[in-house]
Amino acid sequence: MAQTKKSLKCSTTEIYTHQRPKRGKPTNHTHSPSKDSILANPTLSEEVITAILVRLPVKSLLKFKSVSKEWFALISIPHFVKTHLSFSANYSTRHRLVLQIDKYSPRKRIHRHCSVASLFYDSVTETFDLDNPVKDPVLFTSIAGSSNGLICYNICHDLTLWNPSTRKFKQLPDLGLQMTSDFHIGFGYDRVHDDYKVVAIIREFRTNYYYAKIYSLKSDSRRTMDDYQGARLYHHSGMLVNENLHWITKYDDGYGIMFIDLVDGKCSKVEKPWYGKEYLDLKLGVLGSHLSVICCHERSDVWVLKEYGVKESWTKLYTIKCPYYMLSPPLCMSIEGEILHVFRSTLMTYNPEDDLMRYPEITNLDGYDHLEAELYIESLGCPVLQNEPMAQH
């Protein structure tokens, strides 16, 4: 365990580009090169400097942007941002959890964040207030999803994309959510078009008709889907897997799984697992890169779709003997196989090998009635468009 923990810790690399010489007697031939000229001709090659920088945390990179114009440009280019994201995805210390915490009396909602690795390996996990772009504490906010370090916030029916690592955010145009209280939001990245998209599925109260709108960050535009197959959705946020946003649907004959393809905007279905009988409830989640379902009746069965699009690849991972309403779908898994869940108003890790439940000690969670959690990766991803003024909190 100790050796595994060490491998998860990421040491910060210090970079020294120039050390000021000790003060001595001046000579006529002494010439002090300017700071820019030294950085323009470093001892290390540009490839080596890039290889070092992409391995550093966002906090360090934001400071290093002020070293020189060259470093600012390097750290800002899209290729560097994507390469840095791929490294961060492999460092568990760069994975964080946003906690949406509710107290029913008096009505209160707050957001905090904590380290995922700490939940698995530290004796105590500290949570921190999430300094989100919501200025008015009276406004009721919820998290509609996250992708590549960006979080989609629903702030009283107004949507905002926000990067908590860089604190840059963008308020999205009106998608018509103010006109109804029955809507479902999904957020994700379209790799084919290098674009972030928000999907809003809205129910028209008068006609009970469902329709869908898609917002594109790249074009800063929204459109109504032409072929949306209107269906009653059971849970609010879409789960992103394979560039598709998934929702649980509720029909008269039971539950189903619907998805919207972010690449072409088409709507289709995923076959649910075959479990022999109808369950009282289904909850949809994502475990790693796999779609997951928690099937609930007198116990909670956790399934994953190991090969996307192949019904026969649905595999039951484990069963937890607890009521379905207490347990969330799995959030993530440690190297040793422990799996993180929300359990009631706290977090729980479960080991399928020995059927052991463990409740990490977490600061600032006592006294609350309900908890939801969303994973995100620290990244340099920018929620604003090129040539658009950056909003920063």
pLDDT for the residue numbered 2: 42
- CA torsion 281-374-192-169 (nearest 10°) is 140
**Higher local confidence (pLDDT), 40 or 379:** 379
Residue 251 has pLDDT above 80, yes or no: no
Residue 252 is predicted with a pLDDT of 67
Mean pLDDT of the chain: 82
**Closest CA relative to residue 85, chosen from 16, 27, 148, 7:** 148
Write the CB contacts of 107 (distance below 8 Å, at least 6 apart in sequence): none
pLDDT per residue as tens digits for the range 31-51? 444 445 445 555 788 889 999
List all residues 6 or more positions away from 307 whose beta carbon is below 8 Å from its beta carbon.
313
Out of 20-24, 105-109, 226-230, 374-378, which region has the weakest mean confidence (pLDDT)? 20-24
Residues 142 and 371: their CA atoms lie apart, in Å, by 12
Least confident of 87-96, 136-145, 165-174: 136-145
CB within 8 A of 207, min separation 6: which ones? Answer: none
Contact 349, 358 (CB under 8 A): yes
State the Cα–Cα distance between residues 264 and 375, nearest whole angstrom.
26
**For residue 337, what pLDDT is reported?**
93
Q: Residue 106: is the preceding peptide bond cis (ω within 30°)?
A: yes
Q: Which domains does the chain have, with CATH numbers?
A: 36-76 (no CATH), 92-388 (2.120.10.80)
C-beta of residue 278 within 8 angstroms of C-beta of residue 254: yes
Q: Provide the b/e sequence for 157-180 (b: ≥16 CB within 10 Å).
A: ebbbbbbbbbebbbebeebebeee
> Tokens 């490294």, residue?
87
At 129, which helix (H) or strand (E)? strand 128-129
The rounded percent of the chain whose pLDDT value lies above 70 is: 82
DSSP annotation of 327 reads B
Q: How confident is the model at residue 253 (pLDDT cuts 50, 70, 90)?
A: low
The pLDDT of 165-180, averaged and rounded, is 84
Q: What is the pLDDT of residue 20?
A: 38
* pLDDT, tens only, 303-340: 999 999 899 999 999 999 887 678 899 999 999 999 99
Interatomic CA distance for residues 183 and 174, integer angstroms: 13
Classify burial at 181, counting beta carbons within 10 Å of its beta carbon; exposed 0-12, middle 13-18, buried 19 or more. Answer: exposed
- Does the pLDDT at position 392 exceed 80? no
Mean pLDDT value of segment 128-141:
71
Interval 250-270 mean pLDDT? 86
Task: Report d(CA 63, CA 316) in Å as an integer.
Answer: 46
Are the beta carbons of 177 and 157 closer than 8 angstroms? yes
Quick check: 160 and 130 in contact, CB under 8 A? no
Count of Cβ atoms closer than 10 Å to residue 47 Cβ: 8
Choice among 105-109, 229-233, 278-282, 347-351 with the minimum mean pLDDT: 278-282
Per-residue pLDDT for 342 more than 90? yes
Compute the average pLDDT of residues 355-366.
91
Burial 202-227 (b: 16+ CB within 10 A, else e): bbeeeeeebebbbbbbeeeebeebee
Share of the chain above pLDDT 90, in %: 50
pLDDT of 9 higher than 60: no
Mean pLDDT of 123-138: 79
Q: What pLDDT shows up at residue 12?
A: 33
Per-state percent for the chain, helix, strand, coil, to nearest 5: 15, 40, 45
Residue owning tokens 């390097």: 74
pLDDT of 246 higher than 70: yes
41/48 Cα distance (integer angstroms): 13
